Amino acid sequence: MSDTHAHSVAFVRETMLPQQPPPVTEAGVVKWMRENLFKGWFNTLLTVVSLYFIFKIVTGAYPWFANGIWNTSSLAECRDMLDGMTGACFSVLTERWNQLLFGFTYPRDAYWRPTLAFVLLIVAIAPVLYPKAPRNLLYFTAVYPFLAYWLIWGGTLLIPLMVLVGLVAGYFAFKQFERQSFAMGMIAGLVSAVVVIWAGSIVPASMPNVMAIEAVQSRDIGGFMLNMILGTVCVSLSLPLGIMLALGRQSSMPIIKWICIIFIEFIRGVPLITLLFVANVVLAYFFPPGSNIDLVLRVIIMITMFSSAYIAEVIRGGLAALPRGQYEAANSLGLDYAQSMRLIILPQALKISIPGIVNVAVGLFKDTTLVSVISMFDLVGMIRGPILASTEWNGVYWELWGFAVFVFFIVCFSISKYSQWLERQLATDHR
Amino acid sequence: MSTISDPPSGSFQLSMLINDTRYRSYTFQFIALILLIMAFAYLGYNLLANLQAAGLNISYKFLGEPAGYDINQTLVDYTSQSTHWRAAVVGVLNTLLVAFLGCLMATVIGVFVGVLRLSDNWLVRQIMSIYVEIFRNVPVLIWILIIMAIFIAVLPQPRDFRGEDAAASMVFGAFAFTGRGFYSPAPVFGPGSSVVVAVFLASIAGIFAFRRYAKKALYDRGQLIPTLWPSLAIFFVPSILVFFVMGRPITLDYPSLQGFNFQGGIFMRNSLIALWFALSIYTAAFIAENVRAGILAVSKGQTEAAASLGLRPGRIMNLVVLPQALRVIIPPLISQYLNLTKNSSLAIAVGYMDLTGTLGGITLNQTGRAIEAIFLLMLFYLAISLAISAIMNVYNNSVKLKER
């Protein structure tokens, strides 16, 4: 049939045409720009406005950065050198970096100690954050809090060592009694830890100079170091507390349930600043007369209570999201409450709650700046107080606040990126 | 043939308290209760002992004494001779003022940014996500202090507006942006202005009535009545007409430079504006994420189904997507409002006299009544957040998917 057809028409192509490249407007960069930047008049307008906006920012900020001065000792010198040009005076950062990071009374020759503690912190949290890190590092993680305390606060190593010994004793007692029941194990562990620590406290008291390095008072700790200390300590303390509160709130025992509900709702209902006021002026009234509890410790107590209430709510969400069948399956296997929680429920519930917990952690880390309101000198407190009030640097706003924004952004942004990564790692459902 | 046997009806043994699940929860609760009572007794005992040692007592009499300090931004009458209670009321109103303004502005910016983050335009998407990431990841206290620094370091002082070749000038001759705060014209209500206000309120009610009528006409008879232009007409025409008929009873009081400062008009202090803007842009970054998540939560099938029914894009948004997205957006939105209200207590960092600044700040320092003042402070914030939670629950129940 085809040959008859061939005779009836004037021309039939007998070979395939070579493939043509797509039209310029439908390929590559041009297509991408047409679709993403210039699709319709409104989109084009938006693009133009955005470009103008970016242009303004870049041209405004570039000379400020480019003319930045890094090596003067006061703002007046900076102004002299700039001679009317736009330019930043970054020398406030180079001159006061130690105050911004460590506070203004931390002994200068001891800066290596918090720095070392920070480096070791990275080693210590690696096995917690990265499932692939060597598991043996977890032992170091367990020792780290005591080491960090010794490095930052100084004094004799025997104090943190005795506490560590007490906790180890508690752990072995717990292991011993765990087979009877979890509750018995907990009680035995607690009792033996308290007894050992109480009995052992004579040792450092009798030998205050063994393995001692220069002691630093809490009020000398400041700068970004204070934010880091408050952030890490309070997050790690509030996780177990939050889990307990969440379980308590889910409990079928009315009294325990109501204690937890009232605690959580009360804490979530008031701003952190009022709790810090409590730490600053009220909490001392509730300690035994004559005891002089350090302000940093009081602040840690209040911030931990604050964040544990929020973490409890996040974990409660995770517990509620688990299908009922998981609870029933755990019961039908004959597991008791502690076992079913530890082996079945919590691993799943915590996994669901990771994004929420990280949100709370980021929020908490940001909230540590609030301590500057009760006249503690964290990063913000240092900038507002000693540095901006000094005669040399009165008026250097943008460099200092820019630095604060930069530091907090780096930390918080990387935490949230980490949580997204972890979520992908832990995703076991194949969508 | 029942496999379930009755519980052994033996005599009660003490070990059953811990080993028998029927009694175990009572044992635990009893222990918890005892521990709680002991803890409270211990704390209460310490409190009493400490108070006695310091020669203090718990008393709220200080609320009736004259405060003796000035508050620079007040919504109600207040002098330094007013009582501490009055100062606290001023503080409450200031807290509510900044919370209200902040929620309003945060919602506007947040919805705007959230919608733009889903825009077709790549550049706009990137800019908006940079905005969200930067503002979410830096403490709000730093933003408050940065905006305050703009007032101190960048904006001109009122004295710069003086003289022939002044360094600064007013915008439109009506608004002055100074380092002390913003000045804007204030309306002065002359005689007969109440009629204008009444007509204005009536026309707003009229708009709602008209839109209701148009909706009813659409649903009942399928008749499409345009709403935008008639609404605008109802909004403007009657009020303006009455305004001129009554002989312009409402005039504007322009701020004017007298001596070293502006007089007249509405004055918003720099601390209020710094707090307001900082809380707004910070909270807006969170709201933008909620809005984005809410819109993304409506499945694409809904949009396509609506389109296949022949609805136009505007109507798809209004009638199909938004009602479903709002169900997802509103609960986190309200908790953002709650956060904003609680964050407004940071006012103390810039010297805006909200409740934390008056009752928890100067009153506390002057009278030394720390426990009482902080108790009242917490009570106030607790009341607000419980009220907002209650509203949220009512709303959630009303929009909940009606399932079996």
pLDDT tens digits along B236-266: 888 888 888 877 777 777 777 777 777 777 7
pLDDT 10s digits, B207-223: 999 989 988 888 888 88
* Contact residues, A window 237-256, toward B, CB-based 8 Å cutoff: 252-256
| Crossing angle of the two packed helices A75-82 and A91-102, in degrees rounded to 10 | 150
Residue B1 pLDDT more than 50? no
Of A270, A395, A416, the CB nearest to B381: A270
How far, in Å, CA of B386 to CA of B92, rounded? Answer: 16
B interface test, pick of A52, A306, A370 with most B CB neighbours within 10 Å? A370
Taking alpha carbons only, the member of A305, A297, A323, A324 closest to residue A153 is: A297
Looking at the predicted structure, is the pLDDT value of residue B47 above 70? yes
The reported pLDDT for the residue numbered A5 is: 58
Q: Per-residue pLDDT averaged across A325-334, rounded? A: 90
Q: Which pLDDT belongs to residue A412?
A: 93
Chain A 257-296, CB below 8 Å of chain B: which residues?
A: 259, 265-266, 268-274, 277-278, 281-282, 284-289
Q: Say if the Cβ atoms of A274 and B374 lie within 8 Å.
A: yes
Indicate if the pLDDT at residue B5 is higher than 60. Answer: no
pLDDT, mean of residues B131-147: 93
Residue among A32, A270, A367 with most chain B CBs within 10 A, to mutate: A270
pLDDT at B9: 57
pLDDT exceeds 90 at position A308: yes
The burial of B288, by beta-carbon neighbours within 10 Å (0-12 exposed, 13-18 middle, 19 or more buried), is given as buried
Confidence of residue B383 (pLDDT cuts 50, 70, 90): very high
pLDDT of residue B205: 92
What is d(CA A371, CA A282) in angstroms, rounded to the nearest whole number?
Answer: 15
Q: Which of B29, B142, B343 sits opposite A255 (nearest CB)?
A: B29
Instruction: Residue B102: name the closest of B344, B288, B326, B266 by CA.
Output: B344
**A47 and B121: CB-CB below 8 Å?**
yes
DSSP state for residue A378 in the 8-state scheme: B
Query: Token pair of A307, please?
Result: 């964040």
Distance from CA of A16 to the nearest CA of B (A): 39
Q: Among A37-41, A415-419, B131-135, B294-298, whose mean pLDDT is lowest?
A: A37-41
Distance between B318 CA and the closest CA of chain A, angstroms: 20
Check residue B144 and give its pLDDT: 93
Name the closest residue on chain B to residue A53, using Cα atoms. B127
Q: What is the pLDDT of residue B145?
A: 92
- Phi, psi (5° rounding) for residue B311? -75, 150
Q: How many CB atoms sit inside 10 A of residue B257's CB?
A: 17
Q: Each residue of A18-55: pLDDT tens digit?
A: 988 888 878 788 888 888 888 888 888 989 999 999 99
Q: What does DSSP say about strands B181-184 and B266-269: parallel, antiparallel, or unpaired?
A: antiparallel
CB B357 within 8 A of CB B347: yes
Contact B124, A54 (CB under 8 A): no
Q: What is the pLDDT of residue A288?
A: 83
B165 or B98: which leads in pLDDT:
B98
As given in the structure block, the two tokens for residue A201 are: 């406290």
Write down the pLDDT at residue A6. Answer: 55
| Closest Cα in chain A, distance from residue B397 (Å) | 18
CA atoms of A339 and B103, how far apart (whole Å): 46
Task: For residues B220-237, give the mean pLDDT.
Answer: 84
Q: How is residue A286 written in tokens?
A: 């509730």
In a 3-state reduction of DSSP, which class is residue A14?
coil
Q: Are B245 and B255 in contact (CB under 8 A)?
A: no
Whether B349 and B145 have beta carbons less than 8 Å apart is answered as: yes
If you ran DSSP here, which 8-state letter would residue A189 be given?
H
Per-residue confidence (pLDDT) for residue B401, from 0 to 100: 67
Closest by Cβ to B382, choosing from A266, A372, A373: A266
Residue B306 tokens, joined: 């609506």
- Mean pLDDT of all residues in chain A? 86
Query: What's the rounded Cα separation, in Å, for the pair A166 and A159?
Result: 11
Give me the mean pLDDT over the A180-188 stretch.
80
Decide if B127 touches A, using CB distance below 8 A.
yes
Residue indicated by tokens 């994420």: B289
Residues B69-121: tens digit of each pLDDT:
888 777 788 887 888 888 888 899 999 999 999 999 999 999 999 988 988 88
pLDDT of residue A311: 94
A122-154 tens-digit pLDDT: 989 888 888 788 888 888 888 899 999 988 888
* Residues 58-87 in A contacting B (C-alpha not used; CB under 8 Å): none
Handedness of CA A384, A385, A387, A393 (dihedral sign): positive
**CB-count exposure of residue A125 (10 Å: 0-12, 13-18, 19+):** middle
pLDDT at B38: 93
Phi, psi of B176 (to 5 degrees): -120, 120
Q: What is the pLDDT of residue B165?
A: 66
* Percent of chain A at pLDDT exceeding 70: 97
- Taking only the tens place, the pLDDT of each residue in A223-280 is 999 999 999 999 999 999 999 999 999 888 888 899 999 999 999 999 999 999 988 8
Q: Return d(Cα A358, Cα A311) in angstroms, integer.
A: 9
- Sorted by sequence, the CB contacts under 8 Å of residue B301 that are 6+ apart come out as none
Q: Is B345 on the interface with A (CB under 8 A)?
A: yes
pTM metric for this prediction: 0.87
pLDDT at B2 over 70: no
| Residue owning tokens 């709702």 | A265
Instruction: Report which of residues B45 and B267 the model is more confident about.
Output: B45
Q: Is the pLDDT of residue A3 over 60?
A: no
Distance from CA of A3 to the nearest CA of B (A): 47
Q: Which of B33, B46, B123 is opposite residue A288, by nearest beta carbon? A: B46
CB pairs under 8 A between A and B: 158
- Give residues 28 to 57 of A whose Cβ lies within 8 Å of B: 35-37, 39, 43, 46-47, 50-51, 53-54
CA-nearest of B124, B337, B288, B235 to A53 is: B124
Cβ contact A270–B382 (<8 Å): yes
Between positions 17 and 56 of B, the ones with CB within 8 A of A are: 25, 28-29, 32-33, 36, 43, 46-47, 49-51, 53
Share above pLDDT 70 across residues of chain B, in percent, rounded to a whole number: 94
φ/ψ of residue B257, rounded to 5: -80, 120
C-beta of residue B310 within 8 angstroms of C-beta of residue B76: no
